[in-house]
Structure formats: C-alpha cells, structure tokens
Amino acid sequence: MTSIRSAVNRSATTTPAASPRLAVLASRVRFEEKSIMTALDRRGIAFEHLDPRTLFVASGTSYTGPRLVLNREVGHFRALYAASALESVGVTVVNSAAATHLAGDKWHTSAALLRHGLPTPRTALAITPDAALAALEEIGYPAVLKPLVGSWGRLVTRVTDSTMAGAVLEHIAAMPSPQSHVVYVQEQVAKADRDIRILVVAGRALGGTYRRSTEWRTNVARGAVSEPLAPSAEHAELAVAAAAAVGTELAGVDLIEDLEGGLTVLEVNDRVEFTGLQGAHGRDLDVAGAIADLLAAGTRT
Amino acid sequence: MQQAVHAPECPECATTVTLDEDARVSEIIECVDCRSELEIASVEPPKVELAPEVEEDWGE
C-alpha cells in the first residue's frame, strides 16, 4: 500500500471533498502550464496542481490520488523520478516515465531513433573525453558536443578542429558529474538557417513552426524566431514516427532540412514548450486546448 | 481586462507587484521594475518570492 503527498492546488471546478482524477505536475507554472490549466478549467475538467518540490510516494497506505498526471515538470530528473514513482502506484503519466527516460537523454533518443530506422544525424557516444577526441576524427569536423541531459541549447558546443575540441574536452573532463564525462558527439549537418518544430499530440501532427536564428543554435530559448508552418505529409509522418519511437504521446519533434531538402530528426522533447509555436499560429491553433482534450479523453477511460 | 487583485512587494527591489486576476500558485512572473523573475507563492493571501535559479537539467 502506498501514499502520495504533495502540496496540492485544486482547480476552481474541484469540490473540496473530491480528489480529481487528473493532476498537472509542475514546479513552475509558465505560459504553457497556465494555458493548459486554463483550458482544463474552460472545459470544466477538475484537476489538481501537484508540485514536485513537495511530492513523495511511499509504501504503507492506500493510494487515493489522481489516476492521470500530466507531467510538466521543468527539471528532467524530477520529471523522470516523479513519473516513475507515480506509475509505481498505478498512475498513468503523460508522458510515461519510459518516454521521459528516452526523450530526456540525447543518447537514448538517438538509439531509439536508430532502432526504428529513422533518419538522424551521425552520432557517436564516447564513454570518456579522451575517447571523444577519437570519435570526433570518425565523425569529422565541424561537429557538435552536447550534454546528455539538458535543453535550451545550454553547453552545446560546436567544434571545428581537434585543437578546439581538445580544449573543450579538457573542460568537460574537469566537470564534477561522472555523467558529464560521457560525451555525445554529433555531426553538424549543413542546413538552412532554420529548423522545424512539429508538435505531436496523440499520434497526430498538430502544427509546426520554422525556427530561424542568426546563430547556429535555433532554440527559441536562445532568441530564435518562430514562424508558422503547416506540416507537410512528410513532416507529419516523420515527426509522428519519431514521437512513437520514444513512446511520447505529447512531443515537440525537431527536424532539420539538409541542403538538398532531406529531413532528419534532431530531437524529441517530452515536456514540450510551445510558447513560440502558439505565438506563431495565434488563434489558428489551440495547443493547450488539444492537450486538455487529450487529458479529458484519458480521464474517461 | 487584467485587474490587480492584491499588491505584494518584489523581494528584490520592493516594487509593488500586481497579480493578474487569473494568477496561479507557482506561476512565474517578472517584476516590472527590476525584471527579477518571481514565483507566486500564494494567491490568497498574495505572496511572491524570488523564483528558483535555473538548474542544469531544466528544459523541455
């Protein structure tokens, strides 16, 4: 038997005595989380707001909490372990702990994409910084070194020759976390000054954006500008397949176009941010509404 | 139309912080004066705190 404890904020549609079947797990309520909560309120769908900073799951008592949890936690490890703990007591988590495990780690994502035969840039996983230098010779320059876990383009480094790579890897070797010493090496694909974000909800490409930037990293968090994109059949098919490869029901799939127009999958984001995409589409697309509808369907099963 | 429902102070610069009508607990807002990132700790009664620093594994 199990108990769950967390600071809980109930939605306006929740009666004090009732525990809703649905919860939104988030330590930070940003544009995305607030939009989803508002969409749930508008649909009259009761939910709790679970704050992972005060969440624990322990054996010993009966579990009576929400049966369905939308995982919007911004921290990867909190999100991963919260999902795993909740699933251990029978809760359905969107996205699942397994999907967060794959999508939240760049190597696990690459391995899943390769297992499913999907196009993705040439990648090497070097188990030590020394091995990374040899891996770079294999991959070729310019190449990109990425932390296994992390987002928003942080610590993603483009290296153009072995001298530069050696210096960067020396810094990586000095980092305290053992995980940091496992180096993800990826070819830098020659591409246009834009990449593509496709939002996948329950196996459907809901919408997309081109993201343009004056620098080589096209993260919205780094100032990239989003422009609306109606996904083509090719975009949709590849994005949906990539989302499925890592087991995500909700995903932001990043695609890049090489100079010949060929598409390849760069990332699958499991706790997708959609401020840029929503802003680009305006009233033509209701991302939070689509997510709320997915959750509504889940609470009825 | 957005309305101020309460007026806590920014813990960094003591500027009055206006919470929107639809403010939610844990919502991240920005101080209009010093641009500090603030977290709404409570809506009733209104309370804001400095938002936590970004951690290495944050993102999407």
Q: Is B30 on the interface with A (CB under 8 A)?
A: no
Q: Is B55 on the interface with A (CB under 8 A)?
A: yes
Pick A74's closest partner by Cβ from B25, B27, B58: B58
Q: And the tokens for A69?
A: 């949890």
Tens digit of each residue's pLDDT (9 = 90 or more) over B16-27: 999 999 999 999
Residue B1 has pLDDT above 90, yes or no: no
Q: Which residues lie closer than 8 Å to A262 by C-beta, 6 or more apart?
A: A119
Pick A273's closest partner by Cβ from B55, B56, B60: B60
pLDDT of residue A9: 66
Best CA proximity match to A55, nearest among A89, A19, A5: A5
Residue A1 has pLDDT above 50, yes or no: no
What is the chain B residue with the closest CA to A105? B57
Residue A76 has pLDDT above 70, yes or no: yes
CB contact under 8 A, B57 and A271: no
Tens digit of each residue's pLDDT (9 = 90 or more) over A11-63: 544 444 456 899 999 999 999 999 999 999 999 999 999 999 999 998 777 88
CB contacts of A151 in chain B (<8 Å) are: 58-60
pLDDT of residue A14: 42
Tens digit of each residue's pLDDT (9 = 90 or more) over A261-298: 899 999 999 999 999 999 999 999 999 999 999 999 98
pLDDT of residue A132: 98
Residue A152 has pLDDT above 90, yes or no: no
Q: Across chain B, what does the average pLDDT equal?
A: 92
CA angle A134, A140, A144 (to 5 degrees): 90
CB contact under 8 A, B59 and A27: no
pLDDT of residue A266: 96
CB contact under 8 A, A29 and B27: yes
From residue A131, alpha-carbon distances to A114, A124, A148, A180 in Å are 22, 10, 16, 13
- Is the Cβ–Cβ distance between B21 and B5 less than 8 Å? yes
Residue B38 host element (H or E): strand B37-42
pLDDT of residue A192: 77
CB contact under 8 A, B57 and A269: no
pLDDT of residue A8: 63
Residue A3 has pLDDT above 90, yes or no: no
pLDDT of residue A214: 78
Q: Is A271 on the interface with B (CB under 8 A)?
A: yes
- Interface probe for B, chosen from A42, A76, A146, A273 (most Cβ of B below 10 Å), is A76
The 3-state secondary structure of chain A reads CEEEECCEEECCCCCCCCCCCEEEECCCECHHHHHHHHHHHHCCCCCEEECHHHCEEEECCCCCCCCEEEECCCEHHHHHHHHHHHHHCCCEEECCHHHHHHHCCHHHHHHHHHHCCCCCCCEEEECCHHHHHHHHHHHCCCEEEECCCCCCCCCCEEECCHHHHHHHHHHHHCCCCHHHHCEEEEECCCECCEEEEEEEECCEEEEEEEEECCCCCCCHHHCCEEEEECCCHHHHHHHHHHHHHCCCCEEEEEEEEECCCCEEEEEEECCCCCHHHHHHHHHHCCHHHHHHHHHHHHHCC
Q: Across chain A, what does the average pLDDT equal?
A: 92
CB contact under 8 A, A76 and B24: no
Mean pLDDT of all residues in A151-159: 90
What is the chain B residue with the closest CA to A154? B56
Supply the ipTM of this predicted assembly: 0.88
Mean pLDDT of all residues in A220-226: 83
Q: pTM of the entire structure?
A: 0.92
Pick A151's closest partner by Cβ from B27, B39, B58: B58
